[in-house]
Each structure stands twice: as structure tokens, then as C-alpha cells.
Amino acid sequence: MMMANRTDERGVALVTAVFALLLIGGLISGAFFVGMQEQRLGRSTVKAQHAFNTADGAAEYLLADWDAFRYNSIAAGSTLTDEGWMDDGTGWYRRTLRRMNTMLYLVDAQGFSADSSTHQHVGLLARLRPFEIDIDAAFKTKGDVRVRGNSDIDGHDHLPPGWSDCPPLGTSLPGILVDDATNISTSGNSYELDGVPPVLGDATIDEAALTTFGDDNFDALAAIATTALGPGTYTQIQPSFVGTQCNLADPQNWGDGKDPSSACGKYFPTIYISGDARINGRQGQGLLLVDGDLSVAGNFEFFGVVIVRGRFKTTGTGQKFNGAVIAANGFDDENDIGGNAQFHYSSCAVQQSLQGTAFAIPLGERSWMHLY
């Protein structure tokens, strides 16, 4: 008997189809898995970048918005910590400012993504940059200077009354430093000129020398002043407080040089007056810039450095300047020191006012580090 020839292969087709479906399904699943991993990796990269930008920005912004009153007054070894969100909402930060010594700071900034799942950490070393003002006399100027009344100009180093946080007294300076010593005129018998020497002439002194300070000039200092005022008469310059806190919003609060222990005792503003000014009371400290003539009458005491583009004039009683005064006398008028004004050079008042008004900049080399 002959056997029938079998040609039905439908079972093989089914197996092949099932295998193909499994293979295609695996490929699709693999593609989905790889895509999801890529998406997760991309999201993680974005979050890590947000965290890094937040940490780096928090460190940089602290220097850009340097709060001299708050940061310059903390003791060496002390820290200040704060936290907040970036303006764009992509992350938040926690940062610590540590004062290493008189001039050096460490900014430790941690940045987090918005959901706090990613963390970055950077450090920044910075130093204070005081203004480079060359103080070489109690009163430095050019042109004519008239000294009369009971005025006292003394270049010997003095300790400001009530100040205890000061180094030993330093080298004595001239009482008056002027371009031509023959321009000094006096009247009466009660004035005092003292220093080493009492009066010194220096022919190199001109207006440019009196308004240029290292890499800065008068306009550069004025541009970063913390307190800006217009020309006029000011009779209520004095410390002001909100509760127990120093009121920094008051433009006539120039710190408290008479009571360094008060809430405003470490407040050393940079004050800029954009024209002629007359001051009649009461006290201030820091760096005073007057873009014009300055006339001081009545009881007014200042601790720090005064720089006047025009001429300087005092009348009446009670004017005391602890630190140093520079009068550029840009209009070649006569500087008139009358009444019973006192100009006492004080290296401590100069140093503390310049450090108190200083801002921070990164170190020149190796200032930035990615901690982890």
C-alpha cells in the first residue's frame, strides 16, 4: 500500500508567528526601557545642574550683595547661616559664611533641586577689599588754608574716646599736608597745629592726587555708596533704632561712633552727598564723600575718613573729626578752619571705618572649589 504525501505545515507557521511576536515585543520593551532610562538620566542631569547652579549662585550672590554692616562685624571664627530659594524657583540653598580671620572669609553653599532629590556643594574663599585711601596727615589739602579761633589740628595718633577695640597707637603724621606750606595763614593765639611736622608742604599734591585712591577714584567710591543724599543742610545726623535694632533705612543714621557698644556701633556706612553740604549736628562714622563744599557748624563729631571735592569750612563750636580729612579744594577757594574745630588723626578710626565699609571679592587664585 502506498503512503499519502503530507504537505500541511500550518503548525510551523504558528510557532514562527508566536516567536516573531515575542521578539518584536522584546524589542519594543527594550526600546521603552532604554527610553525611560534616558529620560530619567536626563531629568537627573537637569536636577543636578539646577542644584549646582543654585549652590554656585548662592555663593556668588552673597559676594555681589555683600552686607558690610552684617558681615564685616562678625568675629573671627564665627559663622552666619541662611537659606532661601533661587528667584526662578529651580532650587533652594543653605549657605554658611565663616570668618577665618580679619580679612578672609569662607562661603560654604549647598544647593538642592526643587524637589530636594539632588544635592551639590561648593566653597568660595573671599577677602575684604578696603578702599585704598592713602592717609598721610590729619588734614590734607591744596591751595590756601586759614586756621583761626581755637582750632586744633593734630597729626599724632589718637584713640577715639570710648573706643577699646583698637591696636596700639601708631606713627605720628603731619597735622596739615598741603601743596605749598606758605599757603597756610593763621590768626589769633589759641589755635594749635601739631604733628610730625605740624605743617608739611608737598608740591606733588594736586586735585587728581586728592581724588584718586589706588585703582579707584572719587566717582567710583560714590557709585557704591550705601547712603546717597542730595545737597543741603543736615541737622539731625545721629544713630536711629527700630526697637533694639539699628535702623539702616534712615539716611541720616551714620552709625554710632560715640557708643561702639550700641546696635549701630559697628555700622560704618559710605555716605555720598551730591553737592554742597552744611552739617550742624550730631554724629556719624564711616566714609563721608562730599561732591562740593562742606561747611560744618555747631556740634558735630565724625569718626573715620572725610573726602571733600570742594573746600572745607568750620564755624562755631563742637566740631570734632577723629580719623582723617581730605579736601581736594577743586575750585581753589580758601579752606577756612575756624571756631574750635578739632582734627585728630586716629589710625584706629581710619582702619575700622575702611574695614567697616569694605566689600568682599574672591581670592585671586584657587578661590572656588566643588566640594561634592
Residue 32 has pLDDT above 90, yes or no: no
Alpha helices in the chain (DSSP H): 10-64, 68-71, 207-210, 218-223, 347-356
Residue 341 has pLDDT above 50, yes or no: yes
pLDDT tens column, 347-365: 999 999 999 999 999 998 8
Would you state the cell numbers that stand for residue 345, as one nine-digit string?
Answer: 588723626
Report the alpha-carbon distance of residue 77 to residue 80 in Å, rounded. Answer: 10
Residue 318 has pLDDT above 80, yes or no: yes
Report the alpha-carbon distance of residue 63 to residue 360 in Å, rounded. Answer: 6
Would you state the cell numbers that stand for residue 212, as one nine-digit string?
Answer: 584718586
Ordered DSSP codes for 298-331: SSEEEEEEEEESS-EEEESS-EEEEEEEEE--TT
Mean pLDDT confidence for 166-194 = 94
Mean pLDDT confidence for 189-209 = 95
Look at residue 1 in the predicted model and tell me its pLDDT: 47
Look at residue 23 in the predicted model and tell me its pLDDT: 83
pLDDT tens column, 89-129: 899 999 999 999 999 999 999 999 999 999 999 999 999 99
Model pTM score: 0.86
